[in-house]
Amino acid sequence: MSDASFPKKIDLRNLTRDDVKSFAVDHGLPAFRAKQLFSWLYRPGIASFAEMTDLPKDLRESLAKEAFFSRLTPAVKELSNDGTIKYGFRLQDGKMIESVLIPEEDRNTLCISSQVGCAMACAFCLTGTMGFSRNLSCAEIVDQVCAVSEDLRENNLGMINNLVFMGMGEPLANFDNLIKALTILLDELGLHFSERRITVSTCGLAPKIIELGQRLKVNLAVSLHAADNDTRNRLMPINLRYPLEILLDACREFSLPRRKRITFEYVLLKGVNDSDQDAVKLARLLHGMPAKINLLPCNEAPELPFAKPGRQRTDTFQDILRRKGFTVLVRSSRGADISAACGQLAAKSSACETALKDDKMP
C-alpha cells in the first residue's frame, strides 16, 4: 500500500476557525459543531478529544482517528534572577525553540519564536549566527502560548497579558503561518488576545509590513538600529534589499489608517551607532512618524564584536531624541544570566526577552 492510503493525521491547531469550518463541512458536520470543536482546542489544559464532552462520542472517536491537536511541553524551564522565565520546547523533529516570559508588576509579557534559527544574519544578534533551520508551523507558534499559559495557571502566576513576536526568527519571513497564528490568537473562541496586546517585530521586510497592516491591526515594532544606509547595510543585510527610505515608507503606510505609533528598536553599539550625530540623524529620519523609540544597550557576547556604550553616552543619546519630542525608553535587557535576553535565544540553546518593561501598550 502506498503512503497515500495512510494520510497523515491533521493537526487541528494548524487551522483557523474558518479552516475548522471547512474541515467540518468536508466531514458532513453541521457548522455549530465546528464552532464547538474550535473552542475546545484552546480551553486551558485540554489534552484529548475524549475531554470534549459536549461532542457526541462517535464524533470524538472519528476525530481521534483522523486528527489530533499538538501540544508543547517545556523540555527546559530556566528562571532568571530577575524573574524572567525561559522555556525551551522540543519540536516533533527534535529541533529546539524558546519562549521567554517577562513578568512585571502588573502584567506578564510572553516573547515567542516564529522560526527555528534566523536567516537575517544581523551582525549583533547571536540568534543570527546560528543560521536558519525552518519556519514554525502555525500550531508551533500558537502552542508556545498555550503551553506557557498552562504553566502559569498551574503555578498560580496569572495569565499572559502581552505577546511579542521577538523570539527566534523573523516573523514576516514566515508570513502565512504568522497570519494564521495571529488569527487564532485574536479569535474570541481561540486565545482571545486583543490586537493592542500583540506586537510583531521585524528587521524590515517592507512589503510584508504593508501587507500585515492590511490584514490585521496588531502593533508593529521595527528593528531599526541605524539611521543611515551605510551603517545599516553593515549591521543588517536586509537593508541591502529594503533600504531605509523604502522601510520608512512602508511604516508610514502601515500606521496611516490607524494613526498608531510604531515602536522603533535601536540597539546601541559602542562607537558604531551611538554618537550625538547618530541621534540627530535618527530624529531627522523619524521626523513626523508616529513613533516611540526603544534604546537597547547591546547585549554583549564573546562571539560578537560589539560592546554597549556607557551610561553617560546612553543618557545623552536618549536626551537628544527626547528634546526633539520623541518618547524614548532605555530598555534594560532582562534574563541575561540565562541567555534569555534580546538576540541571545537558542544561540546557546536564544529567543528574545525584549524588556518591554513599563511600556504600556497604547
- The residues annotated as belonging to the active site are 98, 342
Site string for ligand SAH, 122-141 (x = CB under 6 A): x-xx----------------
CB of 67 to ligand SAH, least distance (A): 32
Closer to ligand SAH by Cβ: residue 19 or 98: 98
- Based on the shown chain and the rule CB under 6 A, indicate whether residue 218 belongs to the binding site for ligand SAH: no
- Based on the shown chain and the rule CB under 6 A, indicate whether residue 103 belongs to the binding site for ligand SAH: no
Q: How many Å apart are CA 67 and CA 161, to the nearest integer? A: 30
Q: At what angle do helices 17-26 and 175-186 cross, to 10 degrees?
A: 90
- Based on the shown chain and the rule CB under 6 A, indicate whether residue 166 belongs to the binding site for ligand SAH: yes
Site string for ligand SAH, 290-309 (x = CB under 6 A): ------x-xx----------
Rule CB under 6 A: choose which of 265, 274, 278, 359 binds ligand SAH: 265
- Based on the shown chain and the rule CB under 6 A, indicate whether residue 224 belongs to the binding site for ligand SAH: no
Total of residues contacting ligand SAH (CB under 6 A): 19
Q: How many Å apart are CA 338 and CA 35, to the nearest integer? A: 41
Q: How many Å apart are CA 96 and CA 92, to the nearest integer? A: 9
- Based on the shown chain and the rule CB under 6 A, indicate whether residue 267 belongs to the binding site for ligand SAH: yes
Helix intervals (H) in the chain: 17-26, 31-41, 57-66, 126-129, 138-154, 175-186, 206-215, 229-235, 238-241, 244-255, 276-285, 311-323
- Based on the shown chain and the rule CB under 6 A, indicate whether residue 152 belongs to the binding site for ligand SAH: no
CB of 94 to ligand SAH, least distance (A): 23
Nearest C-alpha neighbor of 118 from the set 354, 353, 356, 345: 345
Joined together, the cell numbers standing for residue 152 give 502559569
- Alpha carbon 234 to its chain centroid, in Å, reads 24
Nearest C-alpha neighbor of 282 from the set 240, 306, 317, 252: 317
- Alpha carbon 356 to its chain centroid, in Å, reads 12
Rule CB under 6 A: choose which of 218, 272, 342, 355 binds ligand SAH: 342
Q: How many Å apart are CA 283 and CA 161, to the nearest integer? A: 31
CB of 175 to ligand SAH, least distance (A): 13
- Based on the shown chain and the rule CB under 6 A, indicate whether residue 254 belongs to the binding site for ligand SAH: no
Interacting residues toward ligand SAH by CB under 6 A: 120, 122, 124-125, 166, 170, 201-203, 223, 265, 267, 296, 298-299, 342-343, 352, 354
